[in-house]
């Protein structure tokens, strides 16, 4: 467990809404090693963001509820941490780049001010004071790291005055300041132009290589993350269904869902426009019992309906949650 930055075990999370209780996370198991770069892929709404927000414990707790499970960050269970320990983790260890950079930036404060505050709390030991000049220096420095032109001027701007790509880079800068061990990037650049998105992903890739931090990169674009990560987790409807090293996953997908996903991507080499995956994502108010994919699965067996399969280890770091590959 010591060389794991993140170790999530059997996490169950519910969300209460008007109509009832959404059983969003259904026993998630997820591990990130030190220095490892992980991609977390899955359809919209499958629980990726909820999972990572649980790592930082920033789920809004009245609607959300962490029912059971453990979330270890550097060996300590986040769910049992005191406020002080949580804050330390957020300031020093883990940070997140949010999906929508415009929403993640406070519109009425200057950008430099917001970055400065994070520096003030993250880069000092508790009780230690830091000078305004030093904060300014560090702000400019981190802005240069994210390839911001003219940092001194940008610092004095409000978010509304910057372009979408710039706002995304400010968010990255903020995350860089606030974390040394793990960076979580929630679909970075999705709201932006494809070319800008590419730039953003390259930027993140470069920074991560330079600083040797671990990364969790959330995406629903398979191809985009291929070159950036060591391992990939595939998620479906609140469960991890497959995990493998990148090349392994792409050359040898095992889980029926993963296979169907890859088949659904149109290929330049021909074959026409493929059909999508039949069926629909489950209703979280009343999800299918057992394996949540079984209603859409061509290989469904009776035992799939009874109990969800655990992740079976196929060796070489390849895991699958499917009775086709293990079980009694």
Partner 1 sequence: MNMKKYIGYRLISSFFVLLGLSLFIFTFSRLVPGDPARLALGPMAPQWAVDKLREQLHLNEPIYMQYFYWLSNLIRGNMGQSLVTRRGVFSDIVEFFPATFEMVIFSVIISSTLAIVLGVTSGKYANSWWDNLVRVTSYVGIAIPSFVWAIVSVFLFGYILRWFPTLGRVSTGIALPPKVTGLLLVDSLLAGRLNVFVDGLWHMMLPGSALVLGRLSQEARITRASVVENLNKDYIMAATSFGIPERTITMKYLLKPSLIPTIAIMGMDIAGSMGGSFIIELIFNWPGIGRYGMSAMLSNDINAVVGVVMLIGIFFAFMNIIVDLITAYLDPRIITKMKGT
Query: Interface with partner 1 by CB under 8 A: which residues?
Result: 56, 58, 60, 87-92, 95-96, 98, 100, 103-109, 117-118, 121-122, 158, 160-161, 171, 174-175, 177-178
Nearest to 244 by CA among 41, 53, 50, 46: 41
DSSP label at residue 279: S
Closer of 58 and 194 to partner 1 (Cβ): 58
Burial of 275 (0-12, 13-18, 19+ CB in 10 A): exposed
Work out how close the CB of 56 gets to partner 1 at its nearest, in angstroms, rounded to a whole number: 5
Query: What are the structure tokens assigned to 281, written together?
Result: 């994502």
- Closest separation between CB of residue 90 and partner 1, Å? 4
Nearer to partner 1, 171 or 254 (CB): 171
Angstrom distance (rounded) from CA 135 to CA 117: 8
Q: Which is nearer to partner 1, 58 or 265 (CB)?
A: 58
- CB 18, min distance to partner 1, A: 15
CB of 83 to partner 1, least distance (A): 8
Between 177 and 304, whose beta carbon lies closer to partner 1? 177
In sequence order, what are the residues at sequence separation of 6 or more whose Cβ sits closer than 8 angstroms to the Cβ of residue 172?
97, 146, 185, 188, 200, 203, 204, 207
Instruction: List % helix, strand, coil for the chain (3-state, nearest 5).
Output: 40, 25, 40
- Of 160 and 194, which CB lies nearer to partner 1 in the complex structure? 160
CA distance 218 to 188: 8
- Among residues 59 and 300, whose Cβ is nearest to partner 1? 59
| 8 A C-beta contact, residue 51 and residue 239 | no
Nearest distance from C-beta of residue 117 to partner 1, angstroms? 6
CB of 87 to partner 1, least distance (A): 5
Spatial separation of the C-alpha atoms in residues 132 and 60, rounded to whole Å: 33
H/E element, 185: strand 182-186
Shortest spacing between CB 183 and partner 1, in angstroms: 12
- Which residue's CB is nearer to partner 1, number 66 or number 314? 66
Whole-Å CA distances, 75 to 3, 29, 80, 122, 192: 9, 15, 12, 21, 36
Query: In sequence order, what are the residues at sequence separation of 6 or more whose Cβ sits closer than 8 angstroms to the Cβ of residue 281?
Result: 43, 45, 46, 237
């Amino acid at each position: 467990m010591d060389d794991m930055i993140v170790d999530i075990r059997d996490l169950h999370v519910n969300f209460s809404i008007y109509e009832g209780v959404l059983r969003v996370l259904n026993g998630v198991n997820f591990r990130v090693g030190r220095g490892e770069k992980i991609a977390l892929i899955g359809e919209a709404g499958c629980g990726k963001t909820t999972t990572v927000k649980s790592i930082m414990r920033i789920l809004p707790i009245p609607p959300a509820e962490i029912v059971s499970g453990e979330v270890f960050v550097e060996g300590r269970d986040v769910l049992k941490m005191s406020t002080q320990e949580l804050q330390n983790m957020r300031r020093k260890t883990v940070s997140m780049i949010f999906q929508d950079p415009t929403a993640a930036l406070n519109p009425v404060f200057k950008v430099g001010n917001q970055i400065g505050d994070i520096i003030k709390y993250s880069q000092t030991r508790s009780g230690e004071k830091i000078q305004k000049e030093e904060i300014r220096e560090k702000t400019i420095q981190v802005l240069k790291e994210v390839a911001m032109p003219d940092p001194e001027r940008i610092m004095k701007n409000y978010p509304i005055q910057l372009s979408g790509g710039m706002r995304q880079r400010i968010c990255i800068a903020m995350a860089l300041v606030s974390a040394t061990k793990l960076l979580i990037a929630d679909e970075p650049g999705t709201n932006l132009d494809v070319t800008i998105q590419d730039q953003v992903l390259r930027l993140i890739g470069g920074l991560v290589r330079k600083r040797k931090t671990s990364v969790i990169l959330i995406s629903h674009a398979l191809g985009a993350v291929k070159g950036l990560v060591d391992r990939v987790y595939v998620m479906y409807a609140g469960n991890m269904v497959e995990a493998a090293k990148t090349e392994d996953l792409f050359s040898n997908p095992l889980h029926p869902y993963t296979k169907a996903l890859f088949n659904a991507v149109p290929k330049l080499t021909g074959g026409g426009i493929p059909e999508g995956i039949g069926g629909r994502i489950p209703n979280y108010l009343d999800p299918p019992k057992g394996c949540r994919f079984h209603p859409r699965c061509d290989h469904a067996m009776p035992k799939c309906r009874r109990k969800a399969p655990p992740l079976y280890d196929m060796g070489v770091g390849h895991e699958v949650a499917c009775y086709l590959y293990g079980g009694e």
